[in-house]
A = this chain, B = another copy of it.
Amino acid sequence: MADLTITDIDMAAMERFYRSNLINSLSGFKSVNLVGTIHPQGMTNLAVFSQVFHLGAKPVLMGMIVRPDSVPRHTLANLLETGSFTLNHLRADFYRQAHQTSANYAGSEFEACGFTPWFSEKIAAPYVREASVKIGLVFRERIDLAINGTVLIIGEVVEVRVPADCLLPDGYLDIEKAGTLTSSGLDGYHTTTRLSRLTYAKPDREPREMDCSGEKTGEQQ
């Protein structure tokens, strides 16, 4: 099948939703998390986000892109006021309800979409009890991106709750085993199948596969 070339001129002329579907597909598969926050007066909030990414391991930082003019704006207001938020990986058994949190509800999306808030003693923000992988963060920095009006929120991880049998001896968390999904575009949800983990790349040898215990296996190629 032939390749199709799409230029900036083509993109500028596209209908709004068509362009949004296309552009959201371009970066590749995305992380997809339910972001939990709470209003200072107590109402919980839950919103599905696919613009969350690793920022660094020391300190332990994650980044999240927020559009202040979008429905999940409560997430931004709450995390700025309380100084905390949670990330909760999506699983196949509740991805429809997770997708539904992006609808514009008057009350809490926890109740409206069938999720159970769970609180630790570490932070104010609620976790999603149904999620296998839960991450608690404190707000560290807000960077306004003038180029398109979005906001980069930087959070520091202060607490992690994961299934014990998904944490390998070398620290790799087997999120596939934990049932974590990935997303594509604005509305595609996918399970995964691991090809392999590959050993640290060095110029004088081909990468080798590692087994699920994090040990090196197989012959050097």
Contact = CB atoms under 8 A, between A and B. Distances in A.
A113 to B, nearest CB: 9
- For A14, A156, A170, the residue with the greatest tally of chain B CB atoms inside 10 Å of its CB is A170
A27 B52 contact: yes
Contact of A189 (B8, B105, B194): B194
A55 interface: yes
Q: Is the interface of A mostly helix, strand, loop or mixed?
A: mixed
Contacts of A28: 31-33, 52, 87, 89, 133, 175, 180, 182
Contacts of A141: 147
A219 interface: no
A104 interface: yes
Interface string A12-42: 0011111111111111111111000000000
Contacts of A207: 96, 99-100
Given A201-B103, A207-B96, A180 B6 contact: no
Given A5-B161, A203-B112, A182 B57 contact: no
Interface string A115-130: 0000010100000000
Interface of A: 1-8, 11, 14-33, 50-63, 65, 67, 87, 89, 92, 95-96, 99-105, 112, 120, 122, 133, 135, 140-141, 143, 145, 147-148, 150, 152, 154, 156-165, 167-168, 170-176, 180-182, 184-203, 206-207, 210, 214
Given A18-B170, A193-B193, 8 more contacts: A15-B171, A22-B172, A23-B57, A26-B62, A29-B180, A50-B54, A56-B150, A143-B143
18 contacts: A2-B164, A4-B162, A7-B158, A7-B159, A18-B171, A23-B60, A23-B157, A28-B182, A55-B65, A55-B148, A99-B207, A100-B207, A103-B201, A103-B202, A104-B203, A140-B147, A176-B188, A190-B192
